[in-house]
């Protein structure tokens, strides 16, 4: 589904923020990208979403070599990807329904299809009853679930989520992570950049851990376990 071969990336005028990164992800996998602030997690997801282009190396996603992807083909490529952001990126003067329906409207779906698909996406995140609400009348966890419904409404093969629980309390964060798990169980490949090591320890996971822009075997340790080992001493 995703293959990185010796990929490096530098922002214009800067130094490498990703260096010689290599990994592959099979269709249907659920992968967390971890690492300290500035390690390159967001950059990695941006490369997969074709929001930027590798400076060196090769990235192949869903059979598409991204270095060879023509700019005019990028919107079509992105139709297969659902993007979820930390700050929800909702339109606050539009209803929950309108927010979720937006990708379908942009893509010119028929009116009846828009209603059916939007309600199915809202149902999948447990928000069917809130379609007429404005986002600000929802809790943080519910707003993030609106963002997730919008990301899945086009039935993407791949979901990329950048720190999706960063603005949520632990209970809501777990609920959101479990939602991603359910989509993964339905066959969607999911990749989530997160600091929330404690949270993902409780969930089935594969981790790609970054340090200073490099993939490393050195795994993060949950704060809860650090506490336990201090207690044992």
Ligand X SMILES: Nc1ncnc2c1ncn2[C@@H]1O[C@H](COP(=O)(O)OP(=O)(O)OP(=O)(O)O)[C@@H](O)[C@H]1O
Contacts with ligand X by CB under 6 A lie at 11, 14, 17, 35, 37-43
In the complex, the smallest distance separating the C-beta of residue 46 from ligand X, rounded to whole angstroms, is 7
Write down the residue that tokens 């929001």 correspond to: 51
C-alpha angle 34/32/78, rounded to 5°? 110
In the complex, the smallest distance separating the C-beta of residue 86 from ligand X, rounded to whole angstroms, is 8
In the complex, the smallest distance separating the C-beta of residue 173 from ligand X, rounded to whole angstroms, is 15
Q: Given the complex with ligand X, which of 35 and 147 has the nearer CB atom?
A: 35
Q: Given the complex with ligand X, which of 14 and 63 has the nearer CB atom?
A: 14
**Residue 65 to residues 30, 57, 160, 174: CA-CA distances in angstroms?**
22, 11, 18, 34
Are residues 184 and 137 in contact, defined by beta-carbon separation less than 8 angstroms? no
Write down the residue that tokens 């989509």 correspond to: 183
**Residue 2 to residues 22, 40, 51, 157: CA-CA distances in angstroms?**
10, 17, 16, 11
In the complex, the smallest distance separating the C-beta of residue 215 from ligand X, rounded to whole angstroms, is 12
Q: Given the complex with ligand X, which of 17 and 190 has the nearer CB atom?
A: 17
Q: Given the complex with ligand X, which of 28 and 220 has the nearer CB atom?
A: 220
């Amino acid at each position: 589904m995703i293959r990185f071969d010796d990929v490096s990336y530098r922002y214009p005028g800067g130094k490498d923020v990703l260096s010689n990164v290599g990994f592959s992800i099979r269709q249907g996998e659920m992968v967390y990208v971890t690492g300290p602030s500035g390690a390159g997690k967001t950059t990695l997801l941006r490369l997969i979403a074709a929001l930027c282009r590798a400076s060196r190396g090769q990235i192949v996603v869903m059979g598409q070599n991204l270095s060879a992807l023509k700019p005019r083909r990028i919107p079509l490529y992105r139709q297969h990807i659902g993007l979820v952001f930390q700050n929800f990126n909702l339109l606050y003067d539009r209803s929950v329904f309108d927010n979720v329906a937006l990708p379908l409207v942009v893509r010119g779906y028929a009116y009846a299809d828009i209603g059916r698909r939007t309600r199915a996406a809202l149902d999948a995140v447990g928000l069917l009853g809130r379609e007429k609400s404005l986002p600000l009348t929802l809790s943080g966890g519910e707003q993030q679930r609106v963002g997730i419904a919008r990301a899945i409404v086009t039935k993407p093969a791949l979901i990329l989520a950048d720190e999706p629980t960063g603005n949520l309390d632990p209970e809501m964060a777990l609920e959101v992570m479990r939602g991603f798990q359910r989509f993964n169980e339905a066959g969607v490949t999911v990749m989530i950049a997160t600091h929330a090591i404690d949270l993902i320890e409780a969930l089935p996971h594969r981790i790609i851990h970054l340090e200073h822009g490099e993939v490393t075997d050195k795994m993060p340790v949950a704060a809860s376990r650090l506490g336990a080992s201090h207690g044992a001493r």
